[in-house]
Amino acid sequence: MGIDYIYPEFEVIRNESRCVTCQVCQRQCANEVHRYDPDLGRMLSDETKCVGCHRCVSLCPTHALKIVKNDCAFRENANWQTGAIKEIYKQASSGGVLLSSMGSPAPLSVYWDKLLLNASQVTNPSIDPLREPMETRVYLGKKPGLVDRDDKGNLTYALEPQLELSMPVMFSAMSYGSISYNAHKSLAMAAQKLGIFYNTGEGGLHEDFYCYGGNTIVQVASGRFGVYKDYLDAGAAVEIKMGQGAKPGIGGHLPGAKIVGDVSRTRMIPEGSDAISPAPHHDIYSIEDLRQLVYSLKEATEYKKPVIVKVAAVHNIAAIASGVARSGADIIAIDGFRGGTGAAPTRIRDNVGIPIELALAAVDQRLREEGIRSQVSLVVGGSIRSASDVVKAVALGADACYIATGALLALGCHLCRTCHTGRCNWGIATQRPDLVKRLNPEVGCQRLVNLLTAWNHEIKELMGGMGINSIEALRGNRLMLRGVGLTETELRILGVAHAGE
Amino acid sequence: MSKKEGQIRIPSGCAIAAVISREGRRMSGEKIVEAMKPMHARSNGLGGGFAAYGIYPQYRDFYAFHLFFDNRDARKDCERYLKENFEIVQAEVIPTRNLPQITNVPMIWRYFLSPFASVLVRENIREEDLVSRTVMTINEGMDGAYVFSSGKNMGAFKAVGYPEDVGAFYKLEEYQGYSWTAHGRYPTNTPGWWGGAHPFTLLDYSIVHNGEISSYDANRRFLEMFGYRCSLQTDTEVIAYMMDYLLRVQKLSLEDAAAVAAAPFWSTIENNPDPKERQRLTYLRTVFPSLLITGPFSIVLGFNGGLMALNDRLKLRSMVTGEKDDLVFIASEEAAIRVMEPEAENIHAPAGGQAVIVKVKEGAY
């Protein structure tokens, strides 16, 4: 209290005429905001604990609750805005690094919103996806420079391992530990139903989920948690995580409190020990070291699985991606700076890295200039929010997109950005059994399937409008994009013309 | 000042026609010029052109370059560049006839070229690659010079105008070829530049094309990785380079190239009863996804010794074929075939994505 007191961010508005004191809100709130007072015979609120997750709002049977932004404000100051002042108080009190969850909420440019798509008129017919076939299947992996022929000159049909996706979207890496068993199960089941892939993140693969291996990408990150032969064999592809868009340049930290039971066993570390992933891979200090890890993993999996190298979008990303492409990677995944996270230092999340749109455009162009674009597939993530973002990403040059925040929203996440507390009321970013069970994997799976089925319809509608009936004819097809309100430099980097041109 | 074609992209609709003798019998250009007349309404006078095979038997071992020049300086610069790598066996003005319908005529020259063996050895380059590179360098980099034909024993003839007028302008009745293709253009803009007319050619590959492809930029950006420069931003140019890449560089068969450009739908592939065929089609689609052409097109690909006609996989543009004795006819409309041969038989509209391949008897061309 006193000097460090920060007025609560939210106000809990309870319509007393509607409240029937059923106490659902109290039972549902792991943050302990709501409390029934038997003497007064009504519900009370401790708003200092509210994170704005809307669990109580969503489950209140009489719609008696709403959570609104508090209007108690510091004196207005364009320079010292409320957030900056509050952060000073927090650090002056704690002496610690500020932590945040999920992607940066800072109002930085979202280029997807400044790119517009084309449609056919007169000279070229649009195609109706309800009446004509419309293809969204994608193969990720290395394509040969020259087709392979036998001694007689016939095609051998030899190909490097490919991942077949029914649509150009996959679930991005989220570890078991950072999210719950039921969240993982929902993702795994949905990936299988949809004919796409989900990604284990750096938490190993729970023994119950080996059966979804055909739709699983297993990750190898700097902590190597949970990595062993069976794990590599279980997945359809192996991803080396070099970086993450929300926190480029640093590793991960799952507090010992979350390393319990199955999480501990799956990560293969003792219960209660902090799981700290080093900032770099300590066997990769340069590009030639990466090549060794890529080929070690290929050797371990007998060259049957594509190897993905995931990097954060940073300043020199085009040159980095070019180096990665030449290091044996089959697929490069680039994560933009708006990407989500279970926990990241706030300063890093909000200030390090570059937007995925610019990174993608620069990488695709550089790989083409070097004539090696076909040697790798490009997967991009870091805040893909809708089917139109996917279509724009593909038109800029991506083979496919990674989504994670969008998938969590489908599972019920309300983006309260307090995953790092471990008290997720929606049963997603928590290991508390009473909270985890709130997420029914069957329901979660169905919601994920619904979401991506809807997106796939929308992707087809957008493609049909452009007169394109197969997603591969959209990839890198930047003539289908126009910019609005962008500078010459931004347009040059994106490789698109301004609207009206 | 409005931009010239190549600086902007101009969609167009069109008419195409072709005739070939399977016996390698040579015929004058009169027939194919006549064929374009009933399809007059498919053009708007802003581009017409022809490709002819077998027309330079006396120079059959030399690359026949057809060039437009804006002025004498451009020609001199270009000739100086050509002489660095080629012996100019013959250089001449392409004969034309003055017509009121054809105006703004550039200088139109023809060169028969032989690459210097010393250059091929020094640069460790195959002669087709040297020719291809030369075409790209001139078309992209030399102002006022444009190569519109570069194959052996074949040539393209094109201009701004209606195709029948373009045929008369170039005196095509004086050439004898065993295979002819033709094009009338309906661009949505008035570039008034001759380079934008069809056919587009590289080495002995020529393309006439009716349609507007929606995959253009995906195709272009893929091909530009391999040294091709789409300096005109037209669909047809990109298809010509695609065919060169698939047939000459990747050495695919015509059938395989067609299965890349107009790939069957995945569902069609999966329902194919022949496992070998499924494997072939799946392989080609997986390896060359960026060379799938979407959007409407009907094309005729010309090459030494044959033709291939191909429609987009939805058949969004008309195209019919017919035959009579040793002749095979292809056109946007049956009327054009009837003009060439009133007794034409087996009139047939090939299905979308179904390649029609006609080859001249070995040794007859």
Q: pLDDT value at position B1? A: 45
Quick check: B265 contacting A, CB < 8 Å? Answer: yes
Selected catalytic residue, list B5, B12, B14, B156 = B14
Distance (Å, whole) CA B135 – CA B119 = 16
Vertex A29, ends A25 and A33: CA angle to 5°? 85
Closest among B155, B173, B156 to B164, alpha carbons compared: B173
Q: What are phi and psi of A296, to 5 degrees?
A: -60, -45
ipTM of this complex prediction, to 2 decimal places? 0.91
Residue A99 β-bridge partners: A345
Distance (Å, whole) CA B231 – CA B202 = 13
Q: Which parts of chain B have pLDDT scores under 70? A: 1-13, 188-192
Which DSSP state fits B245? I
**pLDDT tens digits for A187-239?**
999 999 999 999 999 999 999 999 999 999 999 999 999 999 999 999 999 99
Question: In a 3-state reduction of DSSP, which class is residue A45?
Answer: strand
Region for B98 from its dihedrals, namely left if φ exceeds 0, alpha if ψ lies in -120 to 50, beta otherwise: beta
Question: In a 3-state reduction of DSSP, which class is residue A131?
Answer: coil
**Is A135's CB within 8 Å of B212's CB?**
no
**Is B217's CB within 8 Å of A479's CB?**
yes
β-pairing verdict for B86-93 and B107-115: antiparallel
The answer to whether A117 and A391 have CB atoms below 8 angstroms apart is yes
Distance (Å, whole) CA A350 – CA A158 = 45
B40 exposed, middle or buried (CB, 10 Å; 0-12, 13-18, 19+)?
middle
Token pair 């494997």 in the structure block, residue: B279
All domains of chain B in start order, with CATH: 12-359 (3.60.20.10)
Segment A28-57 shows an average pLDDT of 96
Give me the architecture of the A2-96 domain, per CATH.
2-Layer Sandwich (3.30)
**pLDDT tens digits for A59-80?**
999 999 999 999 999 999 999 9
**Is A469's CB within 8 Å of B294's CB?**
yes
To test the contact with chain A by mutation, choose from B44, B189, B217, B314 the residue with the greatest count of A C-beta atoms within 10 A, namely B217
Question: In a 3-state reduction of DSSP, which class is residue B231?
Answer: coil
Q: Is B78 a catalytic residue?
A: no
Q: In percent, how much of chain A has pLDDT > 70?
A: 100
| A341 has pLDDT over 80 | yes
Quick check: B229 contacting A, CB < 8 Å? Answer: no
**Close Cβ partners of B82 (under 8 Å, ≥ 6 residues apart):** B65, B88, B111, B113, B134
- Taking contacts as CB-CB distances below 8 angstroms, the residues of chain A near B352 are none
Closest among B60, B66, B109, B63 to B86, alpha carbons compared: B63
Query: What count of residues does chain B have?
Result: 365
> Which CATH number is A128-142+166-498 given?
3.20.20.70
Per-position b or e across A150-178, b if 16+ CB within 10 A of its CB:
eeeeebeeebebbbbbbbbbbbbbbbbbb
Q: pLDDT value at position A4? A: 80
**Is B294's CB within 8 Å of A139's CB?**
no
- Mean pLDDT for chain A? 95
The answer to whether A431 and A422 have CB atoms below 8 angstroms apart is yes
- In this complex, which of B218, B292, B296 lies closest to A476 when CB atoms are compared? B218
To test the contact with chain B by mutation, choose from A117, A149, A155 the residue with the greatest count of B C-beta atoms within 10 A, namely A155
**A2-96 and A128-142+166-498: identical CATH topology:** no
**pLDDT tens digits for A88-121?**
999 999 999 999 999 999 998 999 999 999 999 9
Residue B214, min C-alpha distance to chain A (Å): 6
- Taking contacts as CB-CB distances below 8 angstroms, the residues of chain A near B226 are 371
Which is more confidently placed, B13 or A244?
A244
Q: pTM of the full predicted structure?
A: 0.93
Distance (Å, whole) CA A194 – CA A347 = 37
**Is A144's CB within 8 Å of B280's CB?**
no
B2 exposed, middle or buried (CB, 10 Å; 0-12, 13-18, 19+)?
exposed
Among chain A residues, the shortest Cα distance to B211 is held by A124
Q: pLDDT value at position B41? A: 86
The answer to whether A175 and A183 have CB atoms below 8 angstroms apart is no
Vertex B262, ends B177 and B334: CA angle to 5°? 50
- In this complex, which of B224, B249, B316 lies closest to A125 when CB atoms are compared? B316
The answer to whether B153 and B57 have CB atoms below 8 angstroms apart is yes
- Taking contacts as CB-CB distances below 8 angstroms, the residues of chain B near A143 are 286-289
- In this complex, which of A120, A149, A159 lies closest to B283 when CB atoms are compared? A159
Token pair 């293969």 in the structure block, residue: A268
Q: How many CB atoms lie within 10 A of CB B290?
A: 23
Which DSSP state fits A421? G
Vertex A415, ends A413 and A419: CA angle to 5°? 80
Token pair 């409390």 in the structure block, residue: A35
**Is B222's CB within 8 Å of A374's CB?**
yes
Domain boundary assignment for chain A: 2-96, 128-142+166-498
Which DSSP state fits A477? -
Quick check: B216 contacting A, CB < 8 Å? Answer: yes
Distance (Å, whole) CA B335 – CA B6 = 33
Q: Chain B 193-212, CB below 8 Å of chain A: which residues?
A: 211-212
Segment A422-446 shows an average pLDDT of 96
Q: How many CB atoms lie within 10 A of CB B194?
A: 22
Distance of CA A383 to the CA centre of its chain: 7
Which DSSP state fits B5? B
Amino acid at A346: T
